[in-house]
Amino acid sequence: MVATATKRHSMLQLAQRAEELNFSGIACPSLGATIGFCVSLAHSTNSIRFWTSIQPIYYSHAIEMANTAAHIHEISNGRFALGLGVSHGPVINRLGATTATPLADIKNYLETMKTQERFSGELPPIYLAALRNKMLLLAGEISDGAIWANASRKSISAQLAILDDSRRNEMFIANMIPTVISDDIEAARAIHRKTLVGYVTLPNYRNYWRSCGYGAQIDAFEKILTESPKESRNAEIISAMDNEWLDDCTISGDADSVREKLFDWSMQRVLPIAVMSSTSGGQAIAINQLFDAYR
């Protein structure tokens, strides 16, 4: 759930409804001041779990993050978890953050948080954004879980196999999946294409999808990014997205199909986080469509 300006009360009401319907948890992306939203969730709900998915580490100093995360953890009676990531190049540039390497930055951040724990109080479980293997292995070493976004369904099992069996079974493992419930598959795919344009411009995502076997698709994207005028790139990227790649990292279909595809992800021992959009309205409509699919 994204609690953007003027929508925060309505998102809290939807969170309460998710709790009533016994959904397993609420993932809170970094848009819309997710830490503040998580504080509100701690007070507005009673039993449902919730976590940031994913909060960029450059938004807050590690000491302040430890203090805030420990507070939410305590107030929510242990229902909160903190998903952290290094974010993407454009965000880092916008913030003017000083960085070393993603692995070093996230490792140092967690070390500082854990040092602060004697002052902040007990920290919640911490999950790391993991797209490529090195970050996944680091997540297995220093955190309680790993979260993907737009992961490849056909490749996830092989990637998880790099983890030790016992460690993999202990970790929280999830994937944020763009999801549209609609009888009109092409209309749903059109929404996903718009959603994924920004990710296609990011080298780390292109490298990830290339490693998943989509070399020809990534070659097409990179040709557009290199050769096409900036003002026409997004439209050209959308036109270049093939259905095989798109359907591998998103979910489209009627309610029965969406339930089956989410269940299929869970059978891979990956918690599917349905990131809802709709062909007929905004986030609230999309989330209510998900609720209706599970009534």
State the pLDDT at residue 159.
Answer: 97
Q: What is the mean pLDDT of residues 269-292?
A: 97
Q: How many residues does the chain have?
A: 295
Q: Which of 6-10, 27-31, 179-183 has the lowest mean pLDDT?
A: 27-31
CA distances from 238 to 16, 194, 228 (A): 36, 7, 13
Identify the architecture of domain 8-185+251-293 in CATH. Alpha-Beta Barrel (3.20)
State the pLDDT at residue 95.
Answer: 67
State the pLDDT at residue 88.
Answer: 66
Judged against a pLDDT cut of 90, whether residue 196 lies above it is answered with yes
* pLDDT interval class at 273 (50, 70, 90): very high
Quick check: bond before 54 cis, omega within 30?
yes
State the pLDDT at residue 89.
Answer: 64
Judged against a pLDDT cut of 80, whether residue 167 lies above it is answered with yes
Q: Nearest 5°: phi and psi at 154? A: -70, -20
Category of 236 on φ-ψ map: left (φ > 0), alpha (ψ -120 to 50) or beta: alpha
Number of Cβ within 10 Å of residue 98's Cβ equals: 8
Judged against a pLDDT cut of 70, whether residue 179 lies above it is answered with yes
pLDDT tens-place string over residues 111-165? 999 999 999 999 999 999 999 999 999 999 999 999 999 999 999 999 999 999 9
* List of long-range contacts for 131-138, beta carbons under 8 Å, 24+ apart: 131/204, 131/205, 131/208, 132/204, 132/207, 132/208, 132/211, 133/159, 133/162, 134/103, 135/102, 135/103, 135/106, 136/160, 136/162, 136/163, 137/162, 137/163, 138/103, 138/106, 138/107
Judged against a pLDDT cut of 80, whether residue 97 lies above it is answered with no
* pLDDT interval class at 235 (50, 70, 90): very high
* Among 28, 269, 275, CA closest to 165: 269
State the pLDDT at residue 32.
Answer: 72
How far apart, in whole angstroms, are the C-alpha atoms of residue 142 and residue 137? 9
How far apart, in whole angstroms, are the C-alpha atoms of residue 63 and residue 48? 27
CB 45 within 8 A of CB 19: yes
Judged against a pLDDT cut of 80, whether residue 7 lies above it is answered with yes
Judged against a pLDDT cut of 80, whether residue 106 lies above it is answered with yes
- Write the single-letter amino acid at 75: I
Number of Cβ within 10 Å of residue 14's Cβ equals: 20
State the pLDDT at residue 33.
Answer: 86
Rounded to the nearest integer, the mean pLDDT of the chain is 95
Judged against a pLDDT cut of 90, whether residue 208 lies above it is answered with yes
State the pLDDT at residue 295.
Answer: 86
State the pLDDT at residue 87.
Answer: 72
Q: Which residues pair with 218 in a beta bridge?
A: none
Judged against a pLDDT cut of 90, whether residue 195 lies above it is answered with yes
State the pLDDT at residue 260.
Answer: 98
State the pLDDT at residue 108.
Answer: 97
Judged against a pLDDT cut of 80, whether residue 102 lies above it is answered with yes
Instruction: Give percent above pLDDT 90 in the chain.
Output: 91
What are the residue boundaries of the structural domains of the chain, listed by start?
8-185+251-293
pLDDT tens-place string over residues 30-77? 887 899 999 999 999 999 999 999 999 999 999 999 999 999 999 999
Q: What is the mean pLDDT of residues 188-211?
A: 97
